[in-house]
Structure 1
C-alpha cells in the first residue's frame, strides 16, 4: 500500500482567505505548482506568486456567475485518478489530465449568510457545488491525494512535509480525509436544516445534525465515560461562545450545568439584575434585586447548602462587590455577559474558579431545535420558549391574586420551566425560597421544597420559613388536591399552574377552602 507521497501540484480555491497567501508561498518554496480560481487566484498573484488558472487547465472559462468552473474531467480526473492503476494512467495521458496532489478548499460561507438573515435567493447563491464535489473526490482518493478544508490544518500540513522530506504519510492523509467528509456533511446538514425551516417543514423526512469540535473533555458525567464538546455554529450567546478567563478547563458536567444556569437567567434579560445558582442542572436559588449583589445574596439564601460547588449565572456584567461575595464559598463556574477589571482581580485569587463572559445574553424566545439521542434514533423538538403574560392568566378561585402575588407568580413560572419535573417552586418578593425538583410524585416535590425552606430558615435564624406568604408554581397540573393542601399548610397564598386535570374542580375547591388564589396558564413546562 502507498504510504509516503510527494506534492507536486496543488489546487487552491478558498472563500476564507485567512493565511492562504503565506500557506501558498510555503508550498511554492517547496516546488509545488499552484492552480487556482477567481478571487483566490487574483490574491495569490497580487502577492507575487506564480499561479495557473483552472480555466487554462480545463479549456473553459468560468461561467454562469462562477457556478461552473471546476466541474470538469481535467479537475476531477486529476483528483480521482489512481496513480498505481495503468488504465487510469493511460486515460490521463490520452486526455491530457495532470494529477493534483493537494486540494485546498473551504466552502462558500453558507452558514454565515443564513446567520446574517439573508433572503432566500441570497442563501441559495451561497450554496457551494464545485467545492464539495472536489472535496469528496480528493478525500475518496486519499491514498494519493491530500485534502485541506480548514485553515487550522495549513500549519499541520507544512509540519508533515517538513517531517517527511516534502511528502505526506497515509495516516496523515486519512485524517485529512475524515475531516473533509465531516465538513461536507456539516455543510449539507446546514443547507438541509435551513431549507426545512424556509419551507415550513417542522419534521422533514430526513434530518441531519453536525458540530465542530471545541474541546476534548477529560471524561463525561463519570470518569469511565469518554466525552467531547462540539459547537453547532449558530453563534448563540452562551457557554459554547463564551471566553474563559481563568480556572481549569470545563468538564462535561460544568458545561451542562453552566448552560442550564445561563439559559435560566436569560429569562430575566434586560429587566432587574438577576442571578441563578444551579446544581446538577437544577436551580437551587434564583432572584432579582436592586443590584447584582442583592440578587446573588437572595438567590444564595434560598439554599446555601446546595449552592456550594454550584454554577452562578448573572444577567449583568459582574462587578467587584458581587465577585467578593461569590468568592466566599466554593463555586465551580461564574458566567455573565461581562466582568469589570476589579471583579476579575477578585477572582484571580481563586485559581480553580472558572469565569466565563459571553458579551450578550441568549434570546429565550429564539426558535431553535433541541435533540436527544435514544436507542436507535433521535428525539427532536423546538426549545421550550413558551412565555406567559398577565393577560394569559385565568383566575379560577374565589379570591383573585393581588398585584404582588401576580408578579411573584410570573417570576415563579419562569423558574419552574427550568426545573426538572415534577417541579414545584416557591417564590417571595422576586426570589425563590424553596425548589422541589425531579420527583416521581408532585406532592413529594411540594414537600421537599417546603423542607428546604424550613432548613434555610433555621440556618438563617428566621422566626418562620420564607414560604409564609409566598406563591407557588407547578410545571404541570396537580392531579390531586393533596399537593395544594401541602402548599396551604406551608404558608403559600397563591398558586400558578397549567390546569387541565380531570380533578381540577377538586383542586380548585381545596384552594378555595384554604383561601388561596389560583390561576391557570393553559401551558405546561415538563422538563425531563
Structure 2
C-alpha cells in the first residue's frame, strides 16, 4: 500500500505491506493514509480492542501523535459534554458515548484527532463525526451508509479504515533504525483483575479495578514514560513521553484539574457570543481556567464573551478540587519517588497501580498510607516506544 508521505511531507517515499503476504490487519475504505495516520490507526485500534475485551464494553480512543489524548468505555455522558455537543446525554448510544467521553478528556488536544472505536460505526456516531474536527477513524465495521456519509467530510479527505477484528498479529515484532533491525517478542501479557490480587495497602472496589484495567490498556499504547488518571471508565488526564515520571504525573494532573474545573459553575456560566465555534469555546474555557491570559488575550475576551466573566478565585479552585474523588492512577513503570504519590493525591486519586520494584518502593507505599490511597503492585511494566 502506497502512503501519502512519510513522517514528514518531504519524506515522499512511503509504503506499507503485511508481514505475512496477503494478511492485512486493516484496509482503507476511503482516503489516503500517511505514515503517521497508519501508526495512529494501528495503535488506537489495539487500545480499543484490548480495552473492550478486558472490560466487556464498547471502547473508544482519541489519538494524536501516536498517543491517546483520551480513551474511555461506554458510559454516562454528563451535562457539560452533552451541552458542548448539543445532544441529550441520556439518549446517546454506547459507541458514541465512548467516543464523546474519550474526546472530552483533553478536548484541546483532540482537535484534529484520529478516532478509534471497538464496535461498528453506526449512523449516530457518523453524524457526530461530521460535526467535529477529526482526521479519520478506524473501526471493525460500518453500518450501511456511514462510509459514504464520512467520505464527504474534509472535502473528501477524511480517512476511513476498517480493522480485521479476527486478525492475530505475529509473535515477533521488528523495526529498522539507522541500518539496524530490532526484533522482539510481542507484548502479549494479559490484563486482568488478577494483577491486583495483592495490594500493599487498602482495598480495591470493583469500580476501581475496572478503572485501573482501563488505565493499563491506555498505557500499553501511550509513548513512555506515561501515567494516566481514570474515573468512571474514562481517562481524565494522560501524561505521555516525558523523561521524568513525576513530570508525567504533574502534566496529566493539570489536565485532570482542567477537566474538573470545566464543570465549575463559574466556567459553565461563561456566556459566549453567537457564532463562536465549539473549539474556540473549549480553548477559551481552558485559557480562562489556566488564569494567565496574555495582554492580547485579555483584550480579545470582550470579542468572544457577551458580558464580563466572574472571577474564578484561588479559594473557589481549592474548594472545588476537594469534591473530585474516586480517581484511579496507573503508571507504566515503577514509581521511583514518593513525589508521584503526593502530586497524584492533589487530583482526587484514591487508587494507584504501578509495577513496583523501585529502590524507594517502601517510601512510595508509606506515602500511599499517609494519603489513604490503595496501592496495587502489578509486577507488569508496560513501556511503549
Shorter chain as denominator, the TM-score bin is: 0.7 to 0.9
Determine if the alignment matches structure 1 residue 514 to structure 2 residue 317.
no
Q: 2:139 aligns with which of 328, 336, 351?
A: 336
Contact kept? 2:352, 2:376, Cα under 8 Å: yes
Contact kept? 1:396, 1:508, Cα under 8 Å: no
Q: Return the structure number with greater relative CO, CA threshold 8 A, min gap 6.
A: 2
Q: Secondary structure at the match of 1:397?
A: strand
Deviations along 1:418-463, one digit per CA (max 9) or x if unpaired, are: 1111110111111111100000110000011111122233445575
CA distance in structure 2 between the aligned counterparts of 1:441 and 1:404, rounded to whole angstroms: 29
Deviations along 1:385-422, one digit per CA (max 9) or x if unpaired, are: 21232223253433112221112111111111111111
Change (3 A) 1:263 1:375: same
Aligned length: 309
CA distance in structure 2 between the aligned counterparts of 1:488 and 1:407, rounded to whole angstroms: 20
Change (3 A) 1:422 1:465: farther
1:360 corresponding residue in structure 2: 165
CA distance in structure 2 between the aligned counterparts of 1:340 and 1:400, rounded to whole angstroms: 43
Deviations along 1:35-62, one digit per CA (max 9) or x if unpaired, are: xxxxxxxxxxxxxxxxxxxxxxxxxxxx
CA distance in structure 2 between the aligned counterparts of 1:407 and 1:479, rounded to whole angstroms: 25
Deviations along 1:305-363, one digit per CA (max 9) or x if unpaired, are: 11111111111110011111222212111111110124234324312211112342545
Q: How large is the Cα RMSD of the aligned pairs?
A: 2.2
Q: 1:428 aligns with which of 215, 231, 247?
A: 231
Structure 1 residue 231 displacement after superposition: 1.3
Structure 1 residue 224 displacement after superposition: 2.4
Which stretch of structure 1 is more off in the superposition, 293-302 or 264-273? Answer: 264-273
Deviations along 1:151-199, one digit per CA (max 9) or x if unpaired, are: xxxxxxxxxxxxxxxxxxxxxxxxxxxxxxxxxxxxxxxxxxxxxxxxx
Contact kept? 2:196, 2:209, Cα under 8 Å: no
Q: Secondary structure at the match of 2:62?
A: strand
Change (3 A) 1:348 1:229: closer
Q: Secondary structure at the match of 2:216?
A: helix
1:324 corresponding residue in structure 2: 127
CA distance in structure 2 between the aligned counterparts of 1:224 and 1:465, rounded to whole angstroms: 50
CA distance in structure 1 between the aligned counterparts of 2:368 and 2:27, rounded to whole angstroms: 48
2:274 corresponding residue in structure 1: none
Contact kept? 1:397, 1:511, Cα under 8 Å: no
Rg larger in structure? 1
- Mark the runs of 5 or more structure 1 residues left unpaired by the alignment: 1-213
CA distance in structure 1 between the aligned counterparts of 2:21 and 2:112, rounded to whole angstroms: 28
Q: Secondary structure at the match of 2:15?
A: strand
CA distance in structure 2 between the aligned counterparts of 1:223 and 1:405, rounded to whole angstroms: 43
Q: Secondary structure at the match of 2:72?
A: strand
- Mark the runs of 5 or more structure 2 residues left unpaired by the alignment: 76-93, 266-319
1:253 corresponding residue in structure 2: 36
The within-5 A match list for 1:149-228 is 214-215=1-2, 217-228=3-14
Contact kept? 1:388, 1:521, Cα under 8 Å: no
Change (3 A) 1:269 1:407: closer
Change (3 A) 1:236 1:273: farther
Deviations along 1:223-253, one digit per CA (max 9) or x if unpaired, are: 222332221243798xx54333333x11111
TM-score w.r.t. the length of structure 2 is: 0.75
Change (3 A) 1:298 1:236: farther
Q: Secondary structure at the match of 1:400?
A: coil
Q: Secondary structure at the match of 1:333?
A: strand
